[in-house]
Every structure is written in structure tokens, then in C-alpha cells.
Structure 1
């Protein structure tokens, strides 16, 4: 059983899977899926598409020069069946896959070295450019935090960061709504407790709406009298 590689993206094309395109000159092109076949017919360059092996090799994201990759080369030399040879071959395949996986992990670590520092630098640059959009503390709040830090013996900047985080986490509205219990006085002098649900509005807005509704009802009652 021979596992060929896709002509366009480089993925393995398993037997009885994928598409085989035969050109007029007799050359066969094996594709792992219809996506690669369509891109081939549209005459697209695999080196310019980020999801292909050719692009990853040109971008330095794949191991190109490695001794373990030479074992995957095609060899059309027939070999007579030998049980011991097959057993040794299977053990060697397992060992080669382990070595290749370890080398790929080392290659990935070297390629991603310094990424965290670059991300932190980019984040700091973004914060410095948009500093005017960040919430700020008043002078009285800063003085209060300075006195509190002096009493506790902690850093002032840490307390300021916590206070800013609290300010940013406060939300005036509830997106998913909730329930509110209120006590309402009836026109006959009685008192009743009601439970109302709200969604997407503030509690204060709901109470204002109820106050307007109550005033409208009282006006209607007076008109009927």
C-alpha cells in the first residue's frame, strides 16, 4: 500500500480517497480533496496559499533539511519478502516517528522563542498609543490609595490597578435580565408585593417605568371617579 502526497497541498492522499487527474500527456496528479483539485484547475500557486506545505516551507515553518525526512523518499526497488526484515522495518518506523516528533518539538520551540516578549511589547505599544481611552482615578482617590498603601505597606500602583479593574468591571445594565421584588401600595390603602422580570434595562429604569405606569393608573382612576 503506497501513500502518496497531494500534488497541491502536500497532505497524504490515502488509497481509494481523493481525486486523480490524468493529463493528456499521461502525467497523473493526485489530490487529497476537491479543494486542492479546484485550486489546481484555477491555476493558483501553492506557495502563495497559507494552508499548503509549500507555503510553510518557504516561510520557515517546516523542517526542510532533516535526515528523518529522507526515509519517506520513494524507492521503486522490489524487495523479496522476509519476516525478520519486516519486523525490523516496523520497529524502525516507530523509532523514526519518535525521533521526528522530538525534532519537530525542538524546531517549534526555537521558532517560537521570543514570541511572548514580542506580544508584550506590542500590547504595551497599543496601551501607550490609546492611553486617553483608559479609565482614570481622581486626585482624591489617588491620595486615599496612597494613604492606604502606606498603612498596609504595599505598592501604590498595585492598588491603583485593582481600583481601575473594579471600575472597568462595573456594568450599569444587565444583558440577560433578572427579577425584582417590589412593594406596591394600592389605591384602597392595601400593600402588595410583586415580582417583575426585566431584560436589558437598568433596575432604576424599570422602577421609573413602573412609577410612570402607577401615576397613569392613578390619573385614570381619578377620571373615572
Structure 2
């Protein structure tokens, strides 16, 4: 079963699904859904639409130059079926899937770290600037009253001793 890639959004198109558009110069365009087909006909640039793979790669959200992606390339030469080769291929596919998931997770964590640090610093600055909002005046009065009561108790204990 050959899985195609959508020309517009790069998602997988399974056999019997999607739309195929053939231009006059006999170039074949496969689309996964009508949304991609319509946007292609409107001459929209996939790099400018945030949900497409091209846009995600452009903004650094997807893996671009990775050795794992080289294994997914399309091969036009069919290989002769051998049970051992088939088993090995399936095991390698599972391993590459795991490696790809780990690398993608690492990419996400490394791209999120700087943003988290800046937001944390910004929040601390705001908390320092607006510290008067963190405690109300009534809470301050209660604290002062509690301190006075403790001081009076301390003085009473001193007098008893």
C-alpha cells in the first residue's frame, strides 16, 4: 500500500482518499481534503498558513534536516519479498519511530525553555512592581494586631518571670 503526501499540507493521503489534480503540463498534485484543494486553486502559499507542515518547518516547529526523515523517502523500485528482510524492516521502522518521537520531544523542550525563562522573569518583575496588590490593607492590620497581641503576651510572661 503506497501512502502519498498531500501537495499542500504534507499530510498522508491513503489509497482511495483525497483528490488528484493533473495540470496541463501533466504534473500530478495529490490533496488530502477539499480544504487543501481549494486553497491550492486560490493560489495560497502553504508557508503562510500556520497549520501546514511547510509553515511549521519554516518556523522551526518541525524537524527539518534529520537522518530519520531520510528513511521515509519514496522508493520506486520494489524489493523482492523475503521473510527475514521483512521482519528486519518492520523492527527498524519501530525503532526509527521511537527515535523520531524522542528527537521531536527534545526539539520541543529546547524551543520552549527560553520562553519559559523569560515569562518567569517577567512574572517576577510584575510581582515586585505590584507587591501591594498581593497583600490587602486589611491583612496588614490583622498582622499588626497579631504582633501586638504577641508582644503583650511576651511582656506578660516577662513580668511573671
Task: Sort the TM-score into its range (normalised by shorter chain).
Answer: 0.7 to 0.9
For structure 1, list consecutive stretches of 5 or more residues without a partner in the other structure.
153-225
- Give the C-alpha shift of residue 135 in structure 1: 8.7
Distance 2:149 2:63 in 1: 58
Residues 123-171 of structure 1, C-alpha deviation per residue, up to 9 Å, x if partnerless?
Answer: 4566789x6xx69734x6523323436878xxxxxxxxxxxxxxxxxxx
Distance 1:30 1:116, change over 3 A: same
The aligned counterpart of 1:148 is 146
* Greater RCO, 1 or 2 (C-alpha within 8 Å, sep 6+): 2
Q: How many residues align?
A: 148
What is the DSSP-based 3-state SS (H/G/I as helix, E as strand, rest coil) of the residue aligned with 1:72?
A: coil
- Give the C-alpha shift of residue 115 in structure 1: 2.7
For structure 2, list consecutive stretches of 5 or more residues without a partner in the other structure.
151-161
What is the DSSP-based 3-state SS (H/G/I as helix, E as strand, rest coil) of the residue aligned with 1:62?
A: coil
TM-score normalised to the size of structure 1?
Answer: 0.58
The aligned counterpart of 2:75 is 75
What is the DSSP-based 3-state SS (H/G/I as helix, E as strand, rest coil) of the residue aligned with 1:97?
A: helix
Q: CA RMSD in A?
A: 2.6
Bigger share in strand: 1
TM-score normalised to the size of structure 2?
Answer: 0.79
1:109-188 correspondence to structure 2 within 5 Å: 109-123=109-123, 137-138=136-137, 141-148=139-146
Distance 2:148 2:72 in 1: 68
Bigger share in helix: 2
Distance 2:149 2:98 in 1: 58
The aligned counterpart of 1:97 is 97
Distance 2:10 2:105 in 1: 20
Distance 1:2 1:143 in 2: 74
- Give the C-alpha shift of residue 103 in structure 1: 1.1
The aligned counterpart of 1:50 is 50
